[in-house]
Every structure is written in C-alpha cells, then in structure tokens.
C-alpha cells in the first residue's frame, strides 16, 4: 500500500479513538497525517481500505479529526462534511481558516468606479476590479489608510461589502420606479445597492425586525445618499399584512452563518441541531410571507429573491422546495448570475423539485468568497386551484404558522414539532405571558393554552 512517511498507517479502533478523545487527543502532526491518509484511502476505498475495516470507520475518524483539528463541534463538522466529496470537504474547512478578500462596492449614486479607484489609489490603496461579473466592485489588496474611515467612505462613495453580498441584488435586478421590499435589511448593504440600481427612483422599503439594527441601516442609507428608501421595523412574518403589492422582494434571511465562518468562528461551536431546525422553520415562514407580498400582476417585476450566507441544505434548497410546494403560483427562474454551483435537487435521501438546480451556491474554496446561496422566483397570478390550496394569507403570520404545523412538509415534519413548541414558548415569554413548564399538558382553559 502506497503511503506517506512515518510508518504504516493504521486506522485506530473505536476504543482507541475513544481513549484518545478522553486523553485530550494526539499531536497535531499525527492528526494531520491521519486526515490525509483517511482522505487518500476513502478516495479509493476498494483498493486502499484495510481488510476488515469499513468505509464508515474511516469516515468517523476523519470527521472526528476535522472537528478536533479545525475546532468545530462534531455535529457541525459532520453536517458540513456531508456537503462535499471527501477531498473537497477538506478544502472547504481549510478555506474557512483564512479571511476572504476585502472588497468594496462603488456607490453609483455618488461616484463612478473609475473615479473612486483613482481617489483611493491616491491615498495609497492598492486595488483592482473584482471580476467581470460586477461593474461596481473593487478588491482591496493593501492599504496604508483604514478603508472604513477614508473621506470617500465617510462621503458615501462606497460600501465595505463582501463580494457575495452583491449577488442577490444582481439577481433581483430592481428597475427604475419600482416598489421593492428588502424584508431583512439591516445594516443595509443590499438595500443601498438596490437603491443605487434604481437610481434613487421608486421606493425601497427597508425592513428589519431588530430595531437596534435599523440604526446602522438608517446611517448607511443617509451616508450613501439613498433618497428612495423607507426604513421600517416589523417582523417579516407580518407582511403582507402591513404592506404588500411589491414589484420585487428580497429576503436575505436570518441564517446560521455557515458560509461566513472565516469572519465569525463562533459558528463552529455554537450551533446545534435544534438551532438549524428553528432557523429553517423561521425561514419557511418568512419565505411564504415574502412571496405573498409580491404583486403578481406587476408590469415590470413580480420577482422574489431568497438568499442566505449559509451553505446548509435545510436553510436553502429545503426552504426553496417548501415554498414551491406551498405556493403553486411561483416558479424558480435563472438567477442571471454568471457563476456559482447548481443547487442540490436531491440530498441524503431527500428529493427536491427538479427546478431547484436553478438556484446557485457559492463557496469560499471554489469562488474565494463567503459561502452563499441565491434563488430567484417569478410569482404568477394564483389560479383557482392554487388559491384553494393555500390558507387565506391576509391574516399573515398566524396562518403561516398553522400551515407549517398542520401539513406534512416532508423535510422536517414530526421532528419539527418540539422546536415549533419551543419557539412558541419563546414568543409567549417575550410577550410577558406565563409559559407552562416543558412537557406539561395545558389545562383546557389555561391562559397559556388560550394564548397558544
Ligand atoms: C443576513 S442579515 C441581513 C443583512 C442585510 N440584508 C444586509 O445586506 O446588510 C439578516 C437580518 O434579518 C433580521 N431578522 C431576523 N429575524 C427577522 C424577522 N423575523 N423579520 C425580519 N427581519 C428579521 C436580523 O435582524 C438581520 O438583520
């Protein structure tokens, strides 16, 4: 068997692995070598696998080592590992260890990219255009001045923004004079981009449920000279009850942030199975409200973009597929983005609608940008059939909750129930209502039972 130096490689037994775990795990170079060997053997298991040892033993060892070496909890290490072929998974974890390029977006309401680049070069900034796919992005290689405090920054000539964040707005392609909703918009990177593409015409409703975060949103809107933006703060699930009839809607959804681990390493250890369930549930509620906020008769639009800075399937394809099933009047369309991998149409035994391949995934190790997901929908007029299929949406949030609870949504059906209960408990607590202890059956007329 061909193998690297350091003696013959032997896969530890389950007992040895357990003992190593208890003892606080082996030396870095041992773990590194073991990962390399496992990747190599799994790449050609039929030929290289040791007699009597199964593929899953190698996989278990590899995931345990990834978790230990890169500092993830085992649950997340496995969840992310499963997204890729074995060797590629290592590239993904490795890419999360180094920062992505610093990028800025020219604010075309105030300047042109060429003029901005010249002004920054004059201040000692080394930069160049990001790529052909954007005519407003610049990549900063090095700078003798803080890029977030130059006179040009303060005058609103640019936004410090990850390249991946341009993508959903490019896909949304807002037009002059349209009425647009940015449902989860703080701190406004995408809102201000939308406003610029609309050349300060029409109106952009920039909503975020977190009031504190709307401060930085408002500050950015002012700094960048956006005059067509209205900032508001509602739970996205209250749309379209608070407002509807939009030509286009962007839902840059709250997510786990598994695409931006290089920026926020805390994600490695602070996400559990339950967090993903709760997030996916919220995303499913929000996506239906976003779709229902669109005017299907819009003369210029009728488009909706869903995006996350996460790479997990349950926050992306599963949410999109759920929306397709719940809203027969929407279909996925091409994002118009020139690159990005196709979304999964099946994943670990779950099959999604075949059009989910129109969605796009972006990865740090492939595209040298944050992990990201973009889906673009066209909303059409509801036919009689599709109308009868959905519960009245005018009442908004409550009905969406009911839909999630009452129907088998395939991906997370029964298992979801305890998380739904938990989120209800939280909502009641937030309202200052009494919450019954977990697992206690509510009395028929108790206030909790009534409120729930
Ligand atoms: C990914 S961030 C948005 C980033 C923003 N689009 C940008 O480009 O600057 C997600 C946002 O969703 C907001 N959010 C979370 N739950 C929400 C809800 N139920 N309704 C509306 N906004 C929500 C969070 O406060 C957060 O600002």
Q: Which residues are catalytic?
A: 309
252 is known to lie in a ligand binding site: yes
Measured over the CA atoms of residue 131, residue 132, residue 137 and residue 143, the dihedral's sign is positive
- Is residue 75's pLDDT more than 60? yes
Instruction: Give the ligand 1 atom nearest the CA of 308.
Output: 1
The pLDDT of residue 404 is 40
Answer yes or no: is the C-beta of 370 below 6 A from any ligand 1 atom.
Answer: no
Strands 179-182 and 248-252: parallel
Q: Are 192 and 206 in contact (CB under 8 A)?
A: no
Q: Could you give all domains of the chain from N- to C-terminal order, each with its CATH number?
A: 14-95 (no CATH), 102-161 (3.30.70.1170), 165-389 (3.40.50.150), 412-451 (no CATH)
Q: Are 155 and 220 in contact (CB under 8 A)?
A: no
> To test the ligand 1 pocket, which listed residue (167, 181, 183, 210) has its Cβ within 8 A of the most ligand atoms?
210
Mean pLDDT of 280-306: 98
Answer yes or no: is the C-beta of 257 below 6 A from any ligand 1 atom.
Answer: no
Alpha-carbon distances, residue 303 vs 21, 229, 343, 434 (angstroms): 51, 19, 19, 41
Confidence of residue 412 (pLDDT cuts 50, 70, 90): very low
User: Which residue's CA is the nearest one to ligand 1's atom 13?
Assistant: 184
- Contacts of 268 by beta carbon, 8 Å cutoff, 6+ apart: 70, 71, 72, 73, 76, 261
Separation of alpha carbons 431 and 382, rounded Å: 35
Side-chain half-sphere of 71: how many Cα atoms within 13 Å? 11
- Nearest-10 Cα torsion for 308, 314, 318, 319: -50
- Is residue 452's pLDDT more than 50? no
Answer yes or no: is the C-beta of 186 below 6 A from any ligand 1 atom.
Answer: yes
Residues 153-176, buried b or exposed e (16+ Cβ, 10 A)? beebbbbebbbbbbbbbbbbebbe
Answer yes or no: is the C-beta of 210 below 6 A from any ligand 1 atom.
Answer: yes
272 C-alpha to ligand 1 centroid (Å)? 20
- Is residue 232's pLDDT more than 60? yes
Place of tokens 């059409």: 380
- Is residue 358's pLDDT more than 70? yes
115 is known to lie in a ligand binding site: no
For residue 115, which phi and psi values (nearest 5 degrees)? -70, -40
The burial class, CB within 10 Å (0-12 / 13-18 / 19+), for 438 is exposed
216 C-alpha to ligand 1 centroid (Å)? 12
- Which of 209, 182, 211 minimizes the C-alpha distance to 196? 182
Q: Does the model's ipTM exceed the 0.90 cut?
A: yes
Confidence of residue 365 (pLDDT cuts 50, 70, 90): very high
- Is residue 426's pLDDT more than 80? no
Answer yes or no: is the C-beta of 185 below 6 A from any ligand 1 atom.
Answer: yes
Place of tokens 């699930």: 237
The pLDDT of residue 413 is 43
- Is residue 87's pLDDT more than 90? yes
Full-model pTM: 0.86
- Which of 108, 147, 326, 125 minimizes the C-alpha distance to 225? 108
Q: Give the total residue count for the chain.
A: 452
SS (H, E, C) the chain: CCCCCCCCCCCCCHHHHHHHHHCCCCCHHHHHHHHHHHHHHHHCHHHHCCCCCCHHHHHHHHHHHHHHHHCCCHHHHHHHHCCCCHHHHHHHHHHCCCCCCEEEEECCCCCCHHHHHHHHHHCCEEEEECCCCCCCEEEEEEECCCCCCCHHHHCCCEEECCHHHHHHHHHHCCCCCCEEEECCCCCCHHHHHHHHHCCCCCEEEEECCCCCHHHHHHHHHHHCCCCCEEEECCCHHHCCCCCCCECEEEEECCCCCCCCCCCCCCHHHHCCHHHHHHHHHHHHHHHHHHHHCECCCCCCCCEEEEEECCCCHHHCHHHHHHHHHHCCCEEEECCCCCCCEECCCEECCEECCHHHHHCEEECHHHHCCCCEEEEEEEECCCCHHHHHHCCCCCCCHHHHHHHHHHCCCCCCHHHHHHHHHHHHHHHHHHCCCCCCCCCCCCCCCCHHHHHC
Q: Are 221 and 182 in contact (CB under 8 A)?
A: no
User: Which residue's CA is the nearest one to ligand 1's atom 10?
Assistant: 254
Give the chain's largest Cα–Cα span: 73
Of the ranges 21-35, 41-55, 300-314, 388-402, which one carries the lowest mean pLDDT score? Answer: 388-402
- Is residue 5's pLDDT more than 60? no
């Amino acid at each position: 068997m061909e193998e690297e130096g350091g003696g013959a490689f032997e896969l530890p037994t389950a007992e040895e692995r357990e003992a190593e775990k208890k003892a606080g795990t082996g030396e870095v170079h041992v773990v590194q070598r073991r990962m390399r060997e496992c990747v190599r053997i799994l790449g050609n298991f039929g030929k290289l696998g040791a007699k009597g040892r199964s593929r899953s033993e190698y996989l278990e060892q590899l995931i345990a080592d990834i978790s230990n070496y890169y500092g993830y909890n085992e649950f997340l290490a496995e969840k992310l590992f499963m997204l890729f072929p074995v060797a590629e998974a290592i590239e993904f974890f490795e890419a999360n260890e180094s920062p992505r390029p610093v990028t800025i977006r020219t604010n075309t309401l105030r300047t042109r990219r060429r003029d901005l680049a010249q002004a920054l070069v004059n201040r000692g900034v080394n930069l160049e255009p990001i790529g052909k796919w954007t005519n407003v992005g610049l990549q900063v290689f090095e700078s003798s001045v803080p890029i977030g405090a130059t006179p040009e920054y303060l005058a609103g000539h640019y936004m410090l923004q990850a390249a991946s964040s341009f993508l959903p707005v490019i896909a949304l392609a807002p037009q002059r004079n349209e009425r647009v909703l940015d449902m989860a918009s703080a701190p406004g990177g995408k809102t201000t981009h939308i406003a610029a593409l609309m050349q300060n015409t029409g109106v952009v409703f920039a909503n975020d449920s977190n009031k504190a975060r709307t401060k930085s949103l408002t500050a950015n809107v002012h700094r960048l000279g956006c005059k067509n933006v209205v900032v508001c703060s509602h739970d996205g699930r209250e749309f379209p009850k608070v407002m509807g009839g939009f030509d286009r809607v962007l839902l840059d959804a709250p997510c786990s942030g598994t695409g931006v681990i290089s920026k926020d390493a805390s994600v490695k250890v602070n996400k559990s199975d339950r967090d993903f369930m709760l997030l996916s549930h919220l995303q499913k509620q929000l996506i239906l409200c976003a779709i229902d906020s669109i005017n299907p008769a819009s003369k210029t639009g009728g488009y909706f973009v869903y995006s996350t800075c996460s790479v997990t399937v349950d926050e992306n394809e599963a949410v999109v597929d759920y929306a397709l099933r719940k809203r027969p009047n929407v279909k996925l369309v091409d994002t118009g983005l020139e690159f990005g991998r196709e979304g999964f149409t099946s994943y670990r035994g779950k099959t999604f609608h075949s059009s989910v391949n129109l969605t796009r995934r972006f990865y740090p190790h492939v595209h040298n940008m944050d992990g990201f997901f973009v889906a673009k929908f066209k909303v059409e007029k509801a036919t009689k059939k599709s109308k009868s299929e959905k519960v009245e949406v005018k009442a908004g949030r409550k009905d969406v909750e009911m839909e999630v609870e009452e129907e088998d949504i395939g991906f997370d059906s029964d298992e979801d129930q305890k998380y739904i209960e938990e989120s209800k408990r939280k909502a009641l607590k937030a309202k200052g209502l009494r919450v019954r202890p977990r697992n206690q059956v509510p009395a028929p007329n108790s206030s909790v039972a009534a409120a729930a």
